[in-house]
Amino acid sequence: MEFQYENSFDIEEKMKTTKIAILPVGAVEAHGPHLPLGTDNLLAERVAKRLAERIDCFVLPTLPYGQVWSLRNFPGSINVSNESLISMIVDIGESLYRQGFKTFAMVNGHLGNQPALKDAARVLFTTCPEMKVFYFFYPGMNKAAKEVRETESTHATYFHACEIETSYMLYLAPEYVVMSKALNDVPVIPSDADVTPTPWENFTTSAVLGDATLATEDKGKYIIDLAIDNMLTMLKASEN
């Protein structure tokens, strides 16, 4: 059920059938020439909707802005602070708690949001003690990606507009992918990028971290379906 399309007369009764609310969280940022600025929003939304096809829940309107400090100087990128993101998530979570929700699951499409979502979940752990809070980011994807990718990852953590993320889009939102513009652009990321602030323009001009030309729908399906299965297992356990 999509929360925003319900009305206040009917919603009270419908909330008796499920106590799970899912919030897609994305970002607006550069994703090379072949993917749109709203890639992370599209991925978060479509994963959330696929979850809703398999478990009774409400899908909340997407939170469309994220912490994109690393890419904030690229054309089209819109950055919000961790503090702003934490505050918004906590306010949403506490509102859901007052409405009687018992499970609040954030489905995140942007890695840079994870620190803020984790901190927000910790606040809600205290302020909403009877509500289970998840901050999902493709759980299980690392192992699955290693099984299907044809190139080595350019970084132990980062993946962006590359073979993997482009495959996600080919599976979940293919109408927004222009594969004729996909790049093979493998940057050299300095070792100190993990331990000191490093804007991405220091090592890439495209915002593509790998060979996007190798992306396929099948690769995306394999990883995304596994991640959704993992999320479902945890969501169903939270109902017990």
Would you say residue 6 has pLDDT above 80? yes
**Residue numbers of the domain that contains 211:** 3-238
**Structure token pair of residue 191:** 């070792």
User: 79 forms bridges with which residues in the sheet?
Assistant: 66
**pLDDT at position 113, please?**
97
The 10 Å Cβ neighbour count of residue 202 is 12
Would you say residue 168 has pLDDT above 90? yes
CATH at residue 117? 3.40.50.10310
pLDDT tens by residue, 169-223: 999 999 999 999 999 999 999 989 889 999 999 999 999 999 999 999 999 999 9
Is residue 71 within 8 Å of residue 99, measured between CB atoms? no
Pairing between strand 184-185 and 20-25? unpaired
User: How many percent of the chain have pLDDT more than 70?
Assistant: 100
The DSSP annotation for 48-113 comes to HHHHHTTS--EEPPPB--B--GGGTTSTT-BB--HHHHHHHHHHHHHHHHHHT-SEEEEEE--GGG
**pLDDT at position 239, please?**
76
**pLDDT at position 20, please?**
96
Is residue 39 within 8 Å of residue 77, measured between CB atoms? no
pLDDT tens by residue, 37-92: 999 999 999 999 999 999 999 999 999 999 999 999 999 999 999 999 999 999 99
Write down the mean pLDDT value for the chain: 95
What is the count of structural domains for the chain? Answer: 1
What mean pLDDT comes out for the span 15-32? 96
